[in-house]
Amino acid sequence: MKGVKFLNWTNYVISGIAVIILGIFIIIGNANLYERGITILVYAFLLLGISQLLTLLFKDRKDFQKQSLIRSCSNIVFAIGMMIYPNIPLSIIPLLFAFYLLFNFIVKSVSSYIGFRDHLSNRWFDVVLAFFYFVSGVSFLFSPLGHLPTLLSIIGVYLILFGLSEFRELLKEVIPPHFKRKIKRSFRLSLPVFFEAFLPRKMLNDLNQYFNDMKEIKEESFVQEKEMESPDLEIFIHLSPLGFNQFGHMDIFFEGKVLSYGNYDKSSIRFFECIGDGVLFETNKELYIPFVIKHSEKTLIGFGLKLTENQKDLIRNEIKHIKEDAYPWISRAQQDLANHVVKKVDAYDDYASVLYLETKKKTNFYKFSSGTFKTYFVLGTNCTLFADRIVGKSGTDLLKMVGLITPGTYLDYLDHEFHKKKSMVISKTIYNEVTKEKAIHKNKKKSLKKKKNVVE
């Protein structure tokens, strides 16, 4: 085990130094290095296209593929076009960065509008950020090459900070666990949001391939544990191939209840399902997991966390604090039942009604009269922010992110923490159509055993 620990430490050191050197190299080399890199890339496309074309010419006619011909010709035409107009490839990255800044301008503008409407305290901060993103985005958009040195410096500094974060991970591995709990949450530098947003879909593809290749589903294939005891809190990351669900969803299971936040009131949803009334629901885990797997073709990954009694108290208090602004809300199905109108599940097209009936009426819904969670915004006040608000009170090392927070951000972090020897993340369970019954039964059995031991 000492050898494995040494290799982990070595990996942090080597990767951290390598990324820092790359960042410094980009800052020093600046535009000249970037231009040479783009030139090499253009010539690489040209050589690739020629190679593909020659391969086709020497192939038998029966093996000839029209798509391969189109692909090779496209590479050649693209490379020649970039040679004739060299400013185009040089401008691509600055233009992409400009669109990213303008995208953030739209997000912050919507957030500030919601902030003013709901009388939130951070509304002016969002206005300032929106203004900054707009001015910077327009500036990069109309003068991409003029801002190229600035952008390369930003990329270089980002890589240096990312490399330094690897040394922070090394520090977390070295220091004793009781000191770790005393470290307060700070900023964590993560991958760019567009990369992390697609992590749930990539993970789903990997899991599907993994289970498709297996002839027999064994327990160790869907339940991984670092400790034999039942976790005190479980974080569910939802993976799905459908619509917005591709970017993931996140909820938590704590002390017998699943807590989830989203825009579950269909009548309030607007702006392409991005905005709506914020709705919190509490439900039964054993009924909820089979429902979401069936209803949305989802796979869930449950990361179990081990907590101290003090951490549990902090989470209980935070949930209580959040619910101070909440009031009971009822779905259409509940309204019908109150009026003695009985309908089948298929008669409802809103998620809240279907959830309520499929979980045998063991779901309670709440809306918010004020505060951060009054209005749901998919790129701001979303499921991840809600879960992060609660989980963060446990004193975890999961840190406040700069910018947008996605389920992919948490997925990347939790998976990383699970593979570390000393961390709060002690289990990883995969719930899908094949494994759900065995996984739920195993976790329930362990929870009952833990409660029994506590009573004794």
pLDDT at site 53: 81
Domain count, the chain: 2
Together in a domain, 193 and 141:
no
Together in a domain, 348 and 429:
yes
**178 domain-assigned:** no
Stretch (H or E) spanning 337 = helix 332-338
pLDDT at site 392: 80
Domain that holds residue 129: 2-159
Together in a domain, 138 and 274:
no
pLDDT at site 356: 95
Q: How far apart are CA 222 and CA 436, in angstroms?
A: 9
Indicate yes or no: pTM above 0.85.
no
| Strand positions, DSSP E, 347-424 | 364-368, 375-377, 400-401
Residue after which a domain boundary falls, among 159, 193, 209: 159
**118 domain-assigned:** yes
| Residue 233, both tokens | 């809190």
Together in a domain, 232 and 294:
yes
**295 domain-assigned:** yes
In order along its 456 residues, the chain shows pLDDT tens digits of 444 454 455 666 777 788 788 778 888 877 787 788 788 888 888 888 888 788 777 766 655 567 777 888 888 888 888 888 887 777 888 888 899 889 989 999 999 999 999 988 888 888 998 999 999 999 989 888 888 888 888 888 877 877 777 676 666 666 655 555 555 454 555 556 656 666 676 666 666 665 655 555 555 567 888 887 889 999 999 988 776 667 789 999 999 999 999 999 999 998 888 899 999 999 999 999 999 988 888 889 999 999 989 889 999 999 999 999 999 999 999 999 999 998 999 999 999 999 999 999 999 999 999 999 999 998 889 998 899 888 887 665 554 455 566 788 888 888 888 887 778 889 999 898 877 777 777 666 666 656 555 545
Residues with Cβ within 8 Å of 362's Cβ and at least 6 positions away in sequence, in order, are 283, 284, 287
Phi, psi of 330 (to 5 degrees): -115, 145
Together in a domain, 138 and 232:
no
Pairing of strands 223-225, 425-431: antiparallel
pLDDT at site 169: 64
Asked if 442 and 320 count as a contact pair (C-beta separation under 8 A), the reply is no
DSSP state of 270: B
Q: How far apart are CA 45 and CA 388, in angstroms?
A: 44
Pairing of strands 233-239, 249-254: antiparallel
Together in a domain, 299 and 447:
yes
Together in a domain, 27 and 110:
yes
